[in-house]
Structure 1
Amino acid sequence: MTSLTHIATPDGVAPGVNYSHVVWGTGRFVALSGQCALDEKGAVVGEGDPVAQAHQVFENLRRCLEAAGATFDDVIKMTVFVTDIALLPAIREARDAHLTNGRLPATSAVQVAALFRPELLMEIEAFAVVADR
């Protein structure tokens, strides 16, 4: 069984409202490559629509986690890359629809000049800890 500990506010650090400051766990470490709003055929989903893209990104993350024997409950860290930091509310909406246990991973958000295709608005990578097989 995986054991995760979420620490929301270490001494001297402002509270994290939309993330945990620290998450640690015991088990097998899983790294997920950055996921974008691409479907199974490589076509962009939701061109120009940050909400649709965010939901596709989280669906792709879910599929990757499932392939590793994990779920969003096992995610300890996410890094969000966006072409416009104003897109974070759309990403939070999709995240909250997929991460439903109320325990958010440690998270970083970075605005970037571009992603590998100009139609893409965001990319998210994740790390998880799952029980040893």
Structure 2
Amino acid sequence: MRSIIRTEQAPAPVGPYNQAIAASGKMLFVAGQIALHPQTGQIVGEGDVTQQTQQVLSNLQAILAEAGASFSDVVKTTVFLADMNDFAAMNTVYATAFGEDSAPARACVEVARLPKDVRVEIDCIAVLPE
């Protein structure tokens, strides 16, 4: 079983993908989110990884909520940074959503370029509550 998850509280996809897919009623695969404001479609915090990470987490939270999940249900994230020098600033904001006691497994990589030249993109996998 496969269900598409969509919410207007997060940016609409900018390509041929969905915000998230719930699989077998148990797993939620959330597409990478960037710092797009859901209503305006504009980048938030141009060049500021702190503001961009806050917006990315807000977008992820909205998609998780639409599927009936929260940050505590996330089991894996991948963080893509345009510059690894932004790691500490991103990590400080990231920690507001994922505390040490419930933080998911995570990979973090520096990439050559991100969509719309943002500083950060994050995707996640969650286990949907029963």
TM-score by length of 1: 0.74
1:45 aligns with 2:44: yes
The percent identity for this pair of structures is 37
- Counterpart CA distance in 2 for 1:90 and 1:63 is 22
Contact 2:98 2:104 in 1 (8 A): no
- Stretches (4+) displaced over 6 A: none
> Letter of the aligned partner of 2:113 in structure 1?
A
Whether the 8 Å CA contact 2:73–2:129 is kept in 1: the answer is no
Q: Quote how far apart the aligned CAs of 1:103 are.
A: 1.7
Q: Deviations over 1:90-112 (max 9, x none)?
A: 22111111224722111001111
CA RMSD of aligned residues (A): 1.4
Cα separation, 1, equivalents of 2:80 and 2:99: 22
**Residue ranges of structure 2 left out of the alignment (5+ in a row):** 1-24
Structure 1: give runs of 5+ residues left out of the alignment.
Answer: 1-26
Q: Distance in 2 between matches of 1:59 and 1:91?
A: 14
- Conserved? CA contact 1:73–1:101, under 8 Å: no
* Matches of 2:89 and 2:41, distance apart in 1: 22
- Residues 55-74 of structure 1: pairs in structure 2 closer than 5 A: 55-74=54-73
CA deviations over 1:52-73 (Å, ceiling 9, x no partner): 0111111111011101100000
The aligned residue for residue 128 of structure 1 is 126
Give 3-state SS (helix, strand or coil) of 2:116's partner: coil
Matched ranges for 1:1-133 at <5 A: 28-40=26-38, 41-100=40-99, 102-118=101-117, 120-132=118-130
Alignment length (residue pairs): 105
Given residue 57 of structure 2, which amino acid in structure 1 is its aligned partner?
Answer: F
